[in-house]
Structure 1
C-alpha cells in the first residue's frame, strides 16, 4: 500500500468517526429533550374525567364578583393530598398569612394544609374561557382566588426536583389565576396555564413542619412543582 493511500484511509476514518460522534451527540440531545418534556406533561386523564368536569358545572350562567366572570361555578369542595403524612389534610389558609401586593392587588402568602377542615377549607371551581379559577367559598377570605406569583424564587426539593412557593390568595383575579384540571387515576391535578411557571403543578412540601392553630395542625407548605409528583394529586370532596 502506498503512503498516499494509507494517508487517505486515515483521513476518511477520522471524518467518519467525527460524523458518528455528531450523530451520537444529536441522538443523546434529542433523547434528553424528549425525557425532559415528558416530565412536564399533564398526566393522562381517566375515563371519568369528563364526568368529573361536568359535575363541577353546578351553578350555570354568568357571574361577576371581584372582577371575576365565570361560565359555571361548582358548589364548595375540599381538596386533600392523597399521600404522605399530610394525606387527608385540607387546602386551607394559615392564620399567620402575610398580607402583600401583587400587580396592585391585595394578596396573602399562606396557602397551607390543615389537619381539620373549617370554613376556610372550602373552595369553588369557576369555569372560564382561560381555564379554571379556584376561589375561596367561605370564611374570612370568601371570594378571593388562588393565583401564581411570577416573582417567587424556585428552590431544589431533593436532588431531582425544583419547586417554587408561588401560590398566593388574591382579592381579585390576576393574569395568572387560571388552572388546568386533570382527573388522573390517583386524583385531581392542577396545572398552571400561564406565566413564568406555566406547566408547573400544585404540590406540597412533604417533609415540612406543622404547627398548632386553633386546635388543629397547619403546615404552610403548598407550592408548585416543575413536574407531576406524588404530592400533585388531590382528592376532591363536596362540602356537606
Structure 2
C-alpha cells in the first residue's frame, strides 16, 4: 500500500530534508511539495491526498490555520496531518486539530519513520474497515502500539492495556503491569483509531476500555480492577449490544 503525501515548509533546507525522507520511505508517495500553505491548499482543493507533512509557522497562512480549514471539509477524515516544527509549545494545539503525529525539529530519519509508520497503520486500518467484513483468523493481528511519551516513543502491548482515560490535552493509558498510568500527548480519537475495535470499546467521552479486562458490569458502571467507569449516554446502545453477546 502506498500513501500519497505532500510536504509543506517555508524553509528550503527543511523542505529538502523532508522530501528526502519521504522519497526514501518505500510506502510513501510524494505527489507535491510546497513552500507555503496557500499553494498547498490550492493543490489539495484539486487533488486527493492522504497525508500532509507540514510546518506550523509559515507566512500568510500558518500550518495550524490550514489544518483548521481542512478539518471543516467533508473529506477531512481522509486527509491526516503530521506537523514538523521547531517549537514544542505547538504540540498541544496540534493535537487539538487532531494531528496524527508531531515531529520536533531537528528530527532524525528514525523519528520520521516512526511517525510515517503510525500513518501507515492508520490508513491500513481505514482500508480494511472499508472492505466487506470477512474474518480471517489466520491474518496476523497487531500486538502492540507505539505511544509518544514526553520525547520518546514507548512500545505498549495491547494485552497490557486495561483502559484509556482522557486527561486534559493528554490521555492516561492504564496498564495491568504498572501501578501508575502512562501519560501520552494524543487525543482520544487517535487512541480509538489505534486500538483494535474487536478488543477495545469507547464507552464514554473520557474512557476507552479493554473488553478482555472487564471484571463486572452493574447497571451502567463497568468494573476494571479497582476502577469504576460509567457508560456515557451516547455509548449505551453499542455497549448493551456487546453485553448481550457477552451474556449469551
Instruction: Report the TM range for the smaller structure's normalisation.
Output: under 0.3
Structure with greater Cα Rg: 1
Relative to the length of structure 2, the TM-score reads 0.24
Structure that is richer in helix per residue: 2
